């Protein structure tokens, strides 16, 4: 197996709790005293998924938007806090979004390891949180997510996340996440994974999908309850592929949502498709979300090994960028 993992993704995943500890120290000096009535996170791919997680995690009185693409929404203004996130610092769409935020007079925080973004931000006097370079963006999730919590705490939006992060790290150091991932990867081999969750865990399910895409180099798809009960459920009437359904369940899901999940599971199994439930219990929402994410990361890693695929390189993406 180590012969397949030529670039050492195993070691990076194993160090994820340590990465969180390091990341939790970043961004503590960034603060805005002026009014903020909107938050936007601009980022693509592995650099942008932290925004999706942040949106699901926060419960604020102001809206949080995730921006994936060129430019920014028309509603941004001087009262908008914009996190501009590009691991490489050279992401085309994100650079464009940064320039849009600059023109609109937004409050800007850049999170990057270098590249064009850091050059622009430093030249124009914008806040930059510089993070560790040399790994794949998707493997740098902690560096791309946790500094945002510190900034939001400094601005008075959330309580100090320190104790919550300490508890999270303690949980993630357990071997059970790797073991569950390895077991699940064997179930998913030669099947198309369909990852389902409630809206609250939408970002977690999306992270599973994208990790399987990039690490195992195969298709995976995701949908959320209860929207999938109004469309995708009908697809089990006439199957045109070999699927395996993973349902991520949170103990805090409301009773009606749990009922929907159970009924959906029954219908899927009657269609001949296997279903497994990943139950997330105990701890804070942050711990639940990142526990589920960590299982998904290990699952994608071991699925790559099942396919004798090096999980690190993403040659198709790199080749695509060179043609732009």
CB atoms within 10 A of CB 73: 12
CATH topology assigned to domain 173-306: Rossmann fold (3.40.50)
Q: Strand 243-250 to strand 192-198: parallel, antiparallel, or no bridges (unpaired)?
A: parallel
pLDDT exceeds 60 at position 201: yes
Q: Which part of the chain is CATH 3.40.50.10490?
A: 25-160, 173-306
pLDDT at 169: 97
pLDDT exceeds 80 at position 1: no
Please give the helix or strand (H or E) that residue 40 lies within, else none. strand 38-42
CATH topology assigned to domain 25-160: Rossmann fold (3.40.50)
Taking all residues of the chain, what is their mean pLDDT, rounded to a whole number? Answer: 96
Q: Strand 64-67 to strand 274-280: parallel, antiparallel, or no bridges (unpaired)?
A: unpaired
Cβ atoms of 272 and 238 closer than 8 Å: no
Band the pLDDT of 324: cuts 50, 70, 90: confident
The verdict on whether omega for the bond into residue 250 sits within 30 degrees of 0, i.e. cis, is: no
pLDDT exceeds 90 at position 320: yes
Catalytic site residue from 52, 93, 164, 214: 214
pLDDT exceeds 60 at position 94: yes
| pTM for this prediction | 0.97
230 catalytically annotated: yes
H runs (alpha helix) in the chain: 9-14, 16-23, 45-57, 92-103, 115-123, 141-154, 162-172, 176-188, 202-211, 255-270, 285-306, 315-323
308 catalytically annotated: no
pLDDT at 2: 64
Catalytic site residue from 230, 270, 322, 323: 230
Q: Quick one: average pLDDT of 36-59?
A: 97
214 catalytically annotated: yes
pLDDT exceeds 90 at position 13: yes
Percent of the chain whose pLDDT exceeds 90? 97
């Amino acid at each position: 197996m180590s012969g397949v993992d030529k670039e050492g993704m195993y070691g990076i995943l194993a160090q994820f709790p340590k990465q969180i500890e390091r990341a939790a120290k970043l961004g503590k000096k960034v603060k805005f005293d002026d009014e903020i009535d909107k938050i936007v996170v601009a980022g693509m791919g592995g650099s942008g998924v932290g925004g999706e997680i942040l949106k699901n995690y926060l419960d604020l009185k102001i809206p949080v938007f995730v921006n994936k693409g060129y430019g920014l929404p028309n509603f941004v203004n001087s009262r908008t806090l914009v996190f501009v996130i590009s691991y490489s610092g050279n992401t085309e769409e994100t650079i464009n979004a940064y320039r849009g935020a600059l023109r609109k007079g937004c409050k800007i925080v850049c999170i990057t390891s270098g590249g064009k973004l850091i050059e622009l931000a430093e030249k124009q006097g914008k806040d930059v949180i510089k993070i560790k370079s040399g790994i794949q963006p998707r493997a740098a999730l902690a560096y791309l997510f946790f500094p945002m919590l510190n900034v939001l705490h400094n601005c008075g939006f959330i309580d100090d996340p320190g104790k919550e992060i300490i508890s999270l790290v303690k949980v993630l150091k357990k071997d059970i996440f790797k073991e569950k991932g390895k077991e699940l990867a064997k179930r998913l081999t030669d099947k198309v994974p369909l990852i389902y969750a409630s809206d609250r865990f939408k970002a977690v399910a999306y992270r599973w999908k994208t990790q399987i895409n990039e690490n195992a180099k195969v298709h995976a798809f995701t949908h959320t309850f209860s929207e999938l009960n109004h469309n995708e459920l009908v697809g089990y009437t006439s199957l045109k592929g070999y699927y395996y359904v993973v349902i991520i369940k949170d103990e805090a899901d409301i009773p009606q949502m749990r009922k929907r999940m159970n009924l959906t599971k029954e219908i899927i199994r009657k269609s001949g498709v296997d279903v497994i439930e990943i139950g997330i219990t105990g701890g804070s929402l942050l711990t639940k979300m990142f526990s589920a994410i960590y299982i998904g990361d290990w699952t994608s890693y071991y699925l790559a090994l099942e396919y004798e695929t090096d999980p690190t390189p993403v040659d198709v993406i790199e080749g695509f960028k060179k043609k732009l």
